[in-house]
């Protein structure tokens, strides 16, 4: 067997020899970060302090960005940081500050539907894990080099998916214009008062003329002195 054939056979057998029982360093980091994301997400939805919930949400979303980086999807990772960490979480924090949310524990932050939410969350997670395990089993799937980079994503977006991208931009623009029109049409038009400025204590009408004012009532006359006071 020649050297090229031996190298090809070794390269073809190498992915099959790898399994989940021999993880690499990147896979170990991916697993640890995933556990951290899961724990921070659980704390974010179970804590009774709203500010702490928002901060734990920051940790969970930041961990997801790290997961995308480990999957060589740098574009999605930076989108995660810019949109979710830079916009959504900041909006949540500003909402908490402007609504004067309590800093300490909130006794009314709990919901009576927590057990229903727990059952739905566990059912969704179990369904997702079952589908992934059934689809891939123990097969090894290598990550392509630069498959999720900004260059590859941009080329795919503006070459292959340019028409859906432009259609989506027009749809968002129409939604924005419709929201502006509805918000302006819902306001009631209140007529402006016609009262003018005061000029020397007298009101000025809308045409600039000084309006006539009613005469002030005369002061009451002083009472006449009684007879006893005159004799004294």
Virtual torsion, Cα 25, 30, 36, 38, nearest 10 deg: -150
Same domain, 102 and 35: yes
Confidence of residue 75 (pLDDT cuts 50, 70, 90): confident
Asked if residue 156 is part of any domain, the answer here is: yes
Asked if residue 71 is part of any domain, the answer here is: yes
Whether 194 shows a pLDDT value over 80: the answer reads no
Write down which residue in 54, 79, 108 finishes a domain: 108
* Per-range mean pLDDT, top range of 34-43, 89-98, 155-164, 210-219: 34-43
Q: Could you read off the pLDDT of 79-97 as tens digits, one per residue?
A: 889 888 888 888 888 887 8
For CA atoms 6, 8, 11, 12, the dihedral sign is: negative
Tokens of 219: 């002061």
Distance CA 96, CA 90 (A): 10
For all residues of the chain together, what is the average pLDDT?
Answer: 74
State the CATH number of the domain containing residue 77.
Answer: 1.20.120.1200
Asked if residue 19 is part of any domain, the answer here is: no
Same domain, 30 and 99: yes
Residues of the chain with pLDDT > 90, as a percent, come to: 16
Asked if residue 69 is part of any domain, the answer here is: yes
Same domain, 95 and 39: yes
Residues contacting residue 91 through CB under 8 Å, at least 6 positions apart: none
Write down which residue in 137, 163, 180 finishes a domain: 180
Write down which residue in 83, 108, 133 finishes a domain: 108
Total domains, the chain: 2
Tokens of 154: 């941009």
Same domain, 96 and 154: no
Same domain, 103 and 154: no
Asked if residue 114 is part of any domain, the answer here is: no
Domain of 168 in residue numbering reads as 149-180
Same domain, 45 and 102: yes
Distance CA 117, CA 22 (A): 36
Distance CA 228, CA 167 (A): 103
Asked if residue 223 is part of any domain, the answer here is: no
Asked if residue 224 is part of any domain, the answer here is: no
Whether 2 shows a pLDDT value over 50: the answer reads no
Same domain, 40 and 102: yes
36, 63 Cβ separation under 8 angstroms: yes
């Amino acid at each position: 067997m020649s050297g090229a054939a031996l190298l090809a056979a070794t390269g073809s057998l190498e992915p099959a020899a790898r399994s989940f029982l021999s993880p690499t360093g990147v896979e170990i980091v991916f697993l640890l970060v995933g556990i951290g994301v899961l724990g921070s997400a659980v704390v974010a939805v179970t804590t009774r302090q709203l500010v702490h919930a928002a901060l734990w949400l920051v940790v969970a979303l930041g961990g997801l960005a790290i997961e995308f980086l480990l999957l060589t999807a740098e574009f999605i990772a930076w989108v995660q940081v810019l949109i979710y960490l830079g916009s959504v979480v900041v909006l949540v924090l500003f909402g908490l500050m402007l609504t004067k949310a309590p800093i300490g524990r909130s006794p009314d932050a709990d919901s009576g539907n927590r057990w229903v939410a727990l059952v739905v969350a566990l059912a969704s997670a179990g369904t997702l894990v079952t589908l992934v395990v059934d689809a891939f089993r123990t097969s090894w799937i290598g990550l392509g080099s630069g498959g999720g980079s900004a260059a590859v994503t941009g080329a795919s977006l503006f070459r292959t998916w340019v028409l859906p991208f432009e259609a989506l931009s027009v749809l968002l623009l129409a939604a924005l214009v419709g929201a502006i029109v509805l918000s302006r049409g819902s306001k009631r038009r209140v007529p402006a008062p016609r009262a003018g400025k005061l000029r020397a204590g007298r009101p000025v009408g809308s045409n600039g003329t000084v309006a006539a004012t009613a005469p002030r009532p005369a002061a009451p006359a002083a009472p006449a002195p009684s007879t006893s006071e005159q004799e004294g």
